[in-house]
Structure 1
Amino acid sequence: MFRWKQALAVVLGGAIAAGAAHAETRVTYKSAKAGTSYYQMGVELSEAIKQGTGGEVILTVEESQGSVQNVMEAAVRPGNYIFTTPPALAAQAREGSGPFEKRPSERFADIRGLFPIPSLTMHIVLAGEAGAVPLEAIEGKTVLLGKGSFGATEGEKYLELFGLKDKLRVADAELGNAADALKNGQIDAFVTAGSFPAPNVIEASASGGVSLVTMTDEQVEQTGRTRVVIPAGTYAGIGEDVVTTALPVVAYTTTRMDDETAYLVTKTFWEKKAEMADSAPWWKAVTPELLETMEGTLHEGALRYYEEAGIAVPDELK
């Protein structure tokens, strides 16, 4: 009887050890609407994290209606919750300002940074293969801004800022038709914002050739946005670097994520980034320098990785 109990204990102990060895850490990744480039990025990141950790961390991508919702849920989500948002929104949440003024929460103070992801980059696209052209090239043109998106709002702001609103025609149509409308001559140009290379710009350049507006450093400074360079060759027919503006986007979590998980996710992201960029070029635009655009404080686990990797971290993030 004693030997039988010993054998049973060995079997049970082995089963428990095997279960522990295969334990998974589950993380929710709140991104964007299904079908968007940012949702696709979440899928790519999920696959990279699973592969890079040998299945130790499982990232489940969850559809979102936008960055404000992502940040709002940071106040109520338990455990391992990662969400994407422009850094300015995370700052507004902590301050209880902007869209969070009527729904403040002390738990917004628990928001912590992990790593940057591709920025929302402004593209002003014109018909014709002239390469990189100055902002004034859209004068006298019919320009599609779209409605309700960051790109539409930002584009409208630029028309006012640079005195162009009365020097062109704004088309009344949805941005989803931009490439076809440009090809068919219904519009002369369109404005869009997204990670580059942007699918709708690729489509437009492949179907007839396009030009891109490149801005001066002075113009970029006037917008108050981050300067970004779209490298030559990113789009067919654009053989020069294009200077434009961008709204940074960051993957955040909260202090409810344990240090080891934050460390492992951050480490795996950077180690798998080059591999992700081989199949999805928008990851090439993410560099450690983008940490300078982050607002708030890094998660202790993420900071541990950056210090181990010798990556410079702005003092205000520590």
Structure 2
Amino acid sequence: MRISFRFLRRALSMSAVTLAFAATAFSLQADTRVTYKSASAGTAYYQMGVELSEAIRQGTDDDIVVTLEDSQGSVQNVMEVMARQGNYMFTAPSELVGQALANEGAFAERPNPRFQEIRGLFPIPSITMHFVLAGDAGVTDIAALDGKHLLIGRGTFGAREAARYLTLFGLDAKVKIADAAIENGPDALKSGKIDGFVTASSFPSPNVIETVASMPVTLISLSEEQIEQTGATRQTIPGGTYPGIDKDVDTTSLPVMAYTTTFMDDDTAYTLTKTFWERLDSMAEEAAWWGSITPGMLENMLGTLHPGALRYYLEAGIKVPEELR
């Protein structure tokens, strides 16, 4: 069968048009997918994940789609670096990433070279210690815990820190500890079963908000010397964060960061970081805990910044600690 040159040329031309159309259609539908792992559903940090995912979607006009996955906690988030490829983003306290990089702590028995591929992106709200007492004093010092019946929870960062602080400041024998989960704190305080509770969360803390909605509370503020004794990161809860608490509350926190790995390409890391900071004010208008974020919190990050994130910070004129470069 003979095929004319004119027919062949027309067919090739039509094929080229078809391929060009298909390529254009694909580019219009294509987007970058990012898997984000933070905390278990129903927690404050999971809700932050929902808010961050939506902010990224809106800020990139759907060019980057973040899929939020349920997590059992920060250790799991870091452990999954061993198997994850592609655009994996997760949250974890800085000190936990430091342990993974050094094969210490929770990772001492499971060291893995993939941990060295972890790279930083940006800070998220810190886990902040709240010592909450019944009463309308507003702000008081830690001596007010003497003789109190306190709920600190069990098996959590907040419970461990609370117990450590009570021992550190000579109050462990002077405070009665309630045997209950921290989720029971607000109800137990409102019913008079306890005198106070300790919760570790971003601020405004859901537990404190729930409590102050029905009764006045007092928050413990630590002195500069006491904060230094704890060895933890200083954190100030601004006055007015909670009704009836008009003065600043000085306490401690555990810095939390968003991390990824070297599998994420530079452009994606750059766009995620740029969009986060550009959308931060609008996120804070919707949820007050985002208002606590400042560029200075990068000083609390351990590890190394992703090159794409570093590119944004340098372009934006944001000071970056030398050890993160």
1:237-316 to structure 2, matched below 5 A, reads 237-316=244-323
User: 168, 176, 183: which is aligned to 1:169?
Assistant: 176
Is the deviation greater in 8-17 or in 161-170?
8-17
Distance 1:207 1:4 in 2: 76
2:37 corresponds to 1:30: yes
Find the counterpart in structure 1 of residue 65 from structure 2: 58
The runs of at least 4 consecutive aligned structure 1 residues that moved more than 3 Å come to 1-5
Instruction: Provide, for residues 220-272 of structure 1, a one-character-per-residue CA deviation record: whole Å limited to 9, x for no partner.
Output: 01111110110011001001000000000000111111000000000000000
SS in 1 for 2:173: helix
SS in 2 for 1:277: helix
The TM-score, its normalising length taken from structure 1, stands at: 0.98
Find the counterpart in structure 1 of residue 189 from structure 2: 182
Find the counterpart in structure 2 of residue 209 from structure 1: 216
Shift of 1:93: 0.8
Distance 1:142 1:64 in 2: 33
Shift of 1:138: 1.1
Q: Is the 8 A contact 1:22 1:56 kept in 2?
A: no
SS in 1 for 2:198: strand
Shift of 1:22: 2.9
SS in 1 for 2:267: helix
Shift of 1:11: 3.2
Find the counterpart in structure 2 of residue 198 from structure 1: 205
Shift of 1:21: 3.2
Is the deviation greater in 279-288 or in 88-97?
88-97
Which protein is bigger by CA-based radius of gyration? 2
Distance 2:109 2:247 in 1: 46
2:101 corresponds to 1:97: no
Find the counterpart in structure 2 of residue 79 from structure 1: 86
Is the deviation greater in 278-287 or in 15-24?
15-24
Is the deviation greater in 300-309 or in 21-30?
21-30
Shift of 1:212: 0.3
Letter in 2 for 1:56: D
SS in 1 for 2:130: strand
Shift of 1:149: 1.1
Instruction: Provide, for residues 7-41 of structure 1, a one-character-per-residue CA deviation record: whole Å limited to 9, x for no partner.
Output: 34313312212211331110111101110000110
Instruction: Provide, for residues 54-95 of structure 1, a one-character-per-residue CA deviation record: whole Å limited to 9, x for no partner.
Output: 111111111111111111111210011111111111111111
Find the counterpart in structure 2 of residue 114 from structure 1: 121
SS in 2 for 1:166: coil
Distance 1:173 1:77 in 2: 37
The TM-score, its normalising length taken from structure 2, stands at: 0.96
SS in 2 for 1:165: coil
Distance 2:29 2:279 in 1: 22
Find the counterpart in structure 2 of residue 142 from structure 1: 149
Letter in 2 for 1:150: F
Shift of 1:166: 1.1
Letter in 1 for 2:306: H
Find the counterpart in structure 2 of residue 234 from structure 1: 241
Distance 1:248 1:14 in 2: 49
Unaligned runs of 5+ in 1: none
Q: Is the 8 A contact 1:182 1:189 kept in 2?
A: yes
Distance 2:114 2:183 in 1: 37
Find the counterpart in structure 2 of residue 158 from structure 1: 165
